């Protein structure tokens, strides 16, 4: 197609580029390509740092790269064939898209789209290329979002339109962490009133499970974490008891079984530690105990569990985005936030301007924050 004078051009803006694993991000002049067919270019307004950004920054080998996948922003331009969005629309990004037509999307049972599912190579789904250039070099994407840049390009299936009345600087947390935890409690475990729930890992995801459990009327919500700061902080979110495994004489599963008359109804692993997942499975009860894996493991992804746990009626389930269909279901969560049926604000312990993003990485790495929201220049 011939380009017209109104066709989107390359934008040069600031982006926080990771040049190597664990190296401080460098604020660079990034050239952001126009959106290609079915893509949109977004002016990022707010973005927060999730443990996955941190883990990938420390352990991945794909560099240079622009991280960030919890974000909100405003559509700057749209590529050919995009009918769902127009310039000026407010959006949330999602790291798993929904193409709406593959077997998974049509099944109504899965949230892992076959076309726009988890992108691992740092490239755009459509043409396996990047939309970022720095000093003449292509820069890789992260999780199909790359929000640590003033502008980014995403597939239109990886964004959700939201009302302009919604505070973008808060709801960016629904792009990943808070939605993942609430969904694990509601969609995956389906916690029932009066249940006993144990949550391993009291970061934003774990504390979102806590919120979900509380809203379902769980009577005991037991948190497990070896960071005393996180244990203390969790009380404000509705935890009824905390256990620090470091201060226990017995293995954690034994401690949990001891205080729950043989095991909890529901356990959630929110850290991504395979040994912790084994502990979680051992901590739920025979007969109907359900353990949900939602932490993302980096180092030892294989799990081990005694076969008899399953023979005795326990169930192991998992989810990557709380079992939500990212595009179809997120608007209802945004609405719940606007109606004050769920809360997000208390997970935001820090706010920083974009040029201080390295401080935010350090806070996260040191376990000193829940979510630090990065505010892009207006």
Binding site for ligand CXF (CB under 6 A): 50, 52, 95, 118, 143, 176, 296, 320
Q: Is the peptide bond before 352 cis (omega within 30 degrees of 0)?
A: no
Kindly tell me which of 95 and 324 has the beta carbon lying closer to ligand CXF: 95
CB of 309 to ligand CXF, least distance (A): 25
Q: What backbone torsions phi and psi does residue 308 show, to the nearest 5 degrees?
A: -65, -20
Q: How far is the CB of 55 from Zn ion (least distance, A)?
A: 10
Interior angle at CA 371, CA 369 and CA 374, nearest 5: 115
Instruction: Tell me which of Zn ion, ligand CXF, none is bound by residue 296, counting a contact when its beta carbon lies within the kind-specific cut-off of 5 to 8 angstroms.
Output: ligand CXF
Between 149 and 195, whose beta carbon lies closer to Zn ion?
A: 149
Q: Is 48 in the site for Zn ion (CB under 5 A)?
A: no
Should residue 52 be labelled a site residue for Zn ion when binding is judged by CB under 5 A? yes
C-alpha closest to that of 142 among 80, 85, 66: 66
Tokens 């201080």 correspond to 356
Task: Please give the structure tokens belonging to residue 155.
Answer: 């597939």
Answer with the entry of ligand CXF, Zn ion, none that 24 interacts with (C-beta below 5 to 8 A by kind).
none
Residue nearest to Zn ion (CB): 50
CB of 333 to ligand CXF, least distance (A): 16
Question: In the chain, which ranges are E strands?
Answer: 11-17, 26-32, 39-48, 70-78, 90-93, 132-134, 137-139, 151-155, 159-162, 196-200, 220-224, 241-243, 266-269, 290-293, 315-318, 348-353, 371-375
Kindly state the smallest distance separating residue 173's Cβ from Zn ion, in Å. Answer: 10
Report in angstroms how near the CB of residue 353 gets to ligand CXF at its nearest: 23
The Cα 234–Cα 256 span in angstroms is 18
> Considering CB distances under 5 to 8 angstroms, the limit depending on partner class, which of ligand CXF, Zn ion, none binds residue 10?
none
Phi first, then psi, for residue 159 (nearest 5°) are -140, 155
Whole-angstrom distance, CA of residue 131 vs CA of residue 2: 20
Q: Which does 118 bind (CB under 5 to 8 A by kind): ligand CXF, Zn ion, none?
A: ligand CXF
Return the HEC string of 262-290: CCECEEEECCCCHHHHHHHHHHECCCCCE
Between 301 and 377, whose beta carbon lies closer to ligand CXF? 301
Q: Quote the distance between the C-alpha of residue 258 and its chain's center.
A: 33
Q: How far is the CB of 96 from ligand CXF (least distance, A)?
A: 8
Q: Work out whether 50 is an interface residue with Zn ion (CB under 5 A).
A: yes
| 8 Å CB contact between 45 and 70 | no
Which of Zn ion, ligand CXF, none lies near 143, with the C-beta cut-off 5 to 8 A by kind? Answer: ligand CXF
**Number of residues forming the site for Zn ion (CB under 5 A):** 3
Min separation Cβ 146 and ligand CXF, Å: 12
- Three-state DSSP class for 206? helix
Question: In 3-state terms, what secondary structure has residue 38?
Answer: coil
Q: Whose CA is closest to 178, among 298, 336, 292, 54?
A: 336
Interface mask (CB under 5 A) for Zn ion, residues 141-180, using x and -?
-----------------------------------x----
> Which listed option, Zn ion, ligand CXF, none, makes contact with residue 320 (CB within 5 to 8 Å by class)?
ligand CXF
Cβ proximity to Zn ion: between 50 and 154 the closer is 50
Question: Judged by CB, which is closer to Zn ion: 173, or 285?
Answer: 173
**Nearest-CB residue to ligand CXF?**
52
What are the φ and ψ backbone dihedral angles of 315, each rounded to 5 degrees? Answer: -125, 140
Nearer to ligand CXF, 176 or 334 (CB): 176
Instruction: Give me the least distance between CB of 296 and ligand CXF, in Å please.
Output: 4
Residues that bind Zn ion (CB under 5 A): 50, 52, 176
């Amino acid at each position: 197609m011939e380009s017209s004078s109104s066709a989107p051009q390359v934008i040069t803006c600031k982006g926080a580029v990771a040049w190597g694993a664990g190296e401080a991000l460098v604020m660079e002049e990034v050239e952001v390509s126009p959106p290609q067919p079915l893509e949109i270019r977004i002016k990022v307004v707010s973005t927060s740092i999730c443990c996955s950004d941190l883990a990938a920054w420390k352990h991945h080998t794909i560099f240079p790269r622009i991280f960030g996948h919890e974000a909100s922003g405003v559509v700057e331009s749209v590529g050919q064939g995009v009918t769902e969005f127009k310039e000026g629309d407010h959006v949330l990004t999602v790291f798993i898209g929904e193409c709406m037509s593959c077997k998974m999307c049509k099944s109504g049972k899965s949230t892992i789209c076959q076309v726009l599912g988890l992108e691992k190579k740092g490239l755009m789904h459509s043409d396996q290329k990047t939309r970022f250039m720095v000093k003449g070099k292509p820069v890789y994407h992260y999780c199909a979002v790359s929000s640590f840049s003033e502008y980014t390009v995403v597939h239109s299936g990886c964004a959700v339109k939201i009302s302009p009345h919604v505070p973008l600087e808060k709801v960016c947390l629904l792009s990943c962490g808070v939605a993942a935890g609430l969904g694990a409690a509601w969609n995956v475990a389906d916690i029932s009133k009066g249940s006993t729930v144990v949550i391993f890992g009291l970061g934003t995801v774990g504390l979102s499970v806590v919120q979900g459990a509380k809203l379902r009327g769980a009577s005991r919500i037991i948190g497990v974490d070896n960071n005393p700061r996180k244990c203390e902080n969790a009380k404000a979110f509705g935890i009824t008891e905390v256990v620090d495994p470091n201060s226990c004489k017995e293995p954690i599963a034994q401690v949990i079984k001891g205080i729950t008359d043989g095991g909890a109804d529901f356990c959630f692993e929110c850290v991504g530690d395979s040994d912790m997942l084994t502990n979680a499975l051992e901590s739920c009860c025979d007969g109907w105990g359900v353990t949900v894996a939602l932490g993302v493991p980096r180092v030892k992804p294989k799990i081990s569990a005694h076969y008899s746990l399953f023979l005795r009626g326990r169930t192991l389930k998992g989810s990557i985005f709380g079992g939500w269909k990212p595009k179809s279901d997120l608007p209802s969560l945004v609405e719940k936030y606007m109606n004050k049926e769920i809360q997000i604000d208390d997970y935001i312990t820090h706010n920083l301007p974009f040029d201080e993003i390295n401080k935010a990485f350090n806070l996260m790495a040191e376990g000193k924050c829940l979510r630090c929201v990065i505010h892009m220049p207006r």
